[in-house]
């Protein structure tokens, strides 16, 4: 049986993965601090789930349409998936962003590591809320007999990026270059240069955020993304689907660098920036929305997620990605308690079938991948900071 690194090497050698083999794959992640508390990991995963659930009921609406009907959304609103839609306060219910992220983590817990075939099999079981066309095609291809590493279509949509965060959890103790290997293989549901590079860039950013004690400068978000992504993209040229930059043709990293910097230099609001490059599920839209929201608001967890929920079209996914980032930076305690306490924590379709499951998966992950911390210690910290 091949190791994940051997599998990735074969894919690079045969052209089976739409990605450049950059020096990243032989680079150790920076050492995590000895006082890293689990609350930062919880913040990353619950930030993802909270952002997804806040955006869920109004996913796909244009910002002005959403505001006209709901005003500014700062809390959960009634959801069609709630079996008791008249309850107050409303609860937060997931879409595929939360489901697939926590199914990935749950399978990692079960297997005591990332097994790409087992995660692919997991995605094929059960109903997925609002499944995207690329993930559906991946599942159809896998079920028809294609191996997992050949099942992913070449599409630059955001369905891999939205659920990539948990891939770093089994690497917390070891911190080896296998983190980048597992990230690339986990992202292969979307075997596309833009998607694969975005997933690797985001995992690199999340890992760095776990090391920080204060919010980074605004330009850190843009420069860090670009520095990783431009070494990984194959040079494939992408074109916007609309917006103010329809004449652009080139790699995703360059579009992000040019257009996000352009918006920041002009002091545009998040909504104004997202309006310029559009804000759907295409990565030329999603990645600029995420990076720009973080540049403007990452020092404030609530405001960053609120802006992600209100100021773009694919708001559940943008808010999930932004939520993971600010959650990793600030920790669970900085996520508004009302959002966490009113989160259903569900990962399956049946009403009430597994309410609270995300919290149980996280607690199991803590036992397997974190306790005791730091690695080699005899005891765990008594409290999270």
Give the residue ranges of DSSP H helices in 71-165. Answer: 96-111, 116-123, 133-143, 148-151
Segment 33-55 shows an average pLDDT of 97
Phi, psi of 128 (to 5 degrees): -105, 125
Distance in angstroms between the alpha carbons of the first and the last residue of the chain = 41
Task: State mean pLDDT over 152-178.
Answer: 98
pLDDT given for residue 383 in this prediction? 38
The CATH homologous superfamily to which domain 30-369 belongs is ADP-ribosylation/Crystallin J1 (1.10.4080.10)
Q: How confident is the model at residue 379 (pLDDT cuts 50, 70, 90)?
A: very low
| Predicted confidence band of residue 378 (pLDDT cuts 50, 70, 90) | low
Chain mean pLDDT for the chain? 95
pLDDT tens for 353-370 read 789 999 999 999 999 999
Domain ranges of the chain: 30-369
Alpha carbon 243 to chain centroid, angstroms? 24
Torsion, Cα of 147, 153, 157, 162 (10° steps): 0
| DSSP code per residue over 288-335 | HHHHHHHHHHTT-HHHHHHHHHHSSSSHHHHHHHHHHHHHHHH-GGGS
pLDDT per residue as tens digits for the range 257-284: 999 999 999 999 999 999 999 999 999 9
C-alpha 312/C-alpha 374 separation (Å) is 39
| Residue 350's pLDDT band (cuts 50, 70, 90) | low
In the chain, the largest separation of any two C-alpha atoms, in whole Å, equals 59
C-alpha 297: how far from chain center: 17
Cis before 113 (ω within 30): no
201: pLDDT strictly greater than 60? yes
- Please check the confidence at residue 382 and state whether its pLDDT lies above 50: no
The pLDDT value recorded for residue 84 is: 76
**59, β-bridge pairs:** none
Summarize pLDDT for 73-95 with one digit per residue, the tens.
999 999 877 777 778 889 999 99
Banded pLDDT at 384 (limits 50, 70, 90) = very low
Q: Write down the pTM of the prediction.
A: 0.96
């Amino acid at each position: 049986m091949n190791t994940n690194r051997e599998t990735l090497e074969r894919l690079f050698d045969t052209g089976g993965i739409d990605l450049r083999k950059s020096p990243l794959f032989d680079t150790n992640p920076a050492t995590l601090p000895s006082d890293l508390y689990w609350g930062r990991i919880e913040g990353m995963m619950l930030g993802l789930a909270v952002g997804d659930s806040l955006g869920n009921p109004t996913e796909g609406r244009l910002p002005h349409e959403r505001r006209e009907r709901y005003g500014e959304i700062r809390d959960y609103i009634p959801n069609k998936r709630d079996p008791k839609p008249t309850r107050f306060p409303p609860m937060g219910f997931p879409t595929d962003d939360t489901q697939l992220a926590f199914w990935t983590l749950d399978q990692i817990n079960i297997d005591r590591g990332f097994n790409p075939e087992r995660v692919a099999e997991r995605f094929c079981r059960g109903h997925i809320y609002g499944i995207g066309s690329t993930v559906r095609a991946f599942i159809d291809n896998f079920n028809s007999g294609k191996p997992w590493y050949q099942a992913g279509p070449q599409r630059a949509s955001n369905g891999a990026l939205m659920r990539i965060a948990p891939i770093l959890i089994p690497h917390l103790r070891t911190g080896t270059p296998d983190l980048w290997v597992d990230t690339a293989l986990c992202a292969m549901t979307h075997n596309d240069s833009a998607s694969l590079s975005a997933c690797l860039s985001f995992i690199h950013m999340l890992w760095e955020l776990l090391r920080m004690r204060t919010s980074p400068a605004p330009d850190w978000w843009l420069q860090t993304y670009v520095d990783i992504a431009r070494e990984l993209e194959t040079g494939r040229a992408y074109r916007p689907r609309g917006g103010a930059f329809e004449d652009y043709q080139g790699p995703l990293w360059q579009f992000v660098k040019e257009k996000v910097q352009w918006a920041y230099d002009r002091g545009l609001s998040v909504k104004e920036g997202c309006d310029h490059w559009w804000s759907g599920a295409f990565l030329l839209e999603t990645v600029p929305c995420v990076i720009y929201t973080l540049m403007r608001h990452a020092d404030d967890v609530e405001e960053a997620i609120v802006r992600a929920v209100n100021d773009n079209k694919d708001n559940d996914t943008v808010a999930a990605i932004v939520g993971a980032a600010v959650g990793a930076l600030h920790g669970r305690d900085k996520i508004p308690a009302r959002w966490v306490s009113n989160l259903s924590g569900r990962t399956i379709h049946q009403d009430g079938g597994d309410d609270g499951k995300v919290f149980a998966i996280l607690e199991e992950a803590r036992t397997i991948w974190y306790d005791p911390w730091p690695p080699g210690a005899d005891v765990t910290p008594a409290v999270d900071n």
